[in-house]
Amino acid sequence: MNKYESIIIVSPEVDEAGLKALEEKFTGLINENGKVEEVKDLGKKQLAYEIKKFKEATYVEFDFEAKPELISELERIYRITDEVIKFITVRKED
């Protein structure tokens, strides 16, 4: 299994309860085929440029171990989740 870091940018319209629900949803998905090491709520930040007419958004970081096959499924779920406006997943060096 490889180590990954995934950062999602969540719409600023999502409240605390919605943010917790998203964290639990993605943590559960990752834990099915891997292991979440840490979830960090990086808070609301100003965006460098407008994304979907938002000037700021909430950042959430997931550090986890998983098989490479999980990444395509995880990113597919990110794409169809309306609250996620942008995301990136990178493999960390050992």
pLDDT band at 93 (very low <50, low <70, confident <90, very high): confident
Domain map (residue ranges) of the chain: 2-86
Instruction: Report the distance separating Cα 1 and Cα 35, nearest Å.
Output: 10
Residue 32, number of CB atoms within 10 A of its CB: 9
Q: Write the pLDDT tens digit of every residue in 6-60.
A: 999 999 998 989 999 999 999 999 998 889 999 999 999 999 999 889 999 999 9
Q: What is the pLDDT at residue 83?
A: 92
Separation of alpha carbons 49 and 30, rounded Å: 30
What letter would DSSP give residue 74? H
Domain 2-86 has CATH 3.30.1360.200: no
Is residue 58 within 8 Å of 19, Cβ to Cβ?
yes
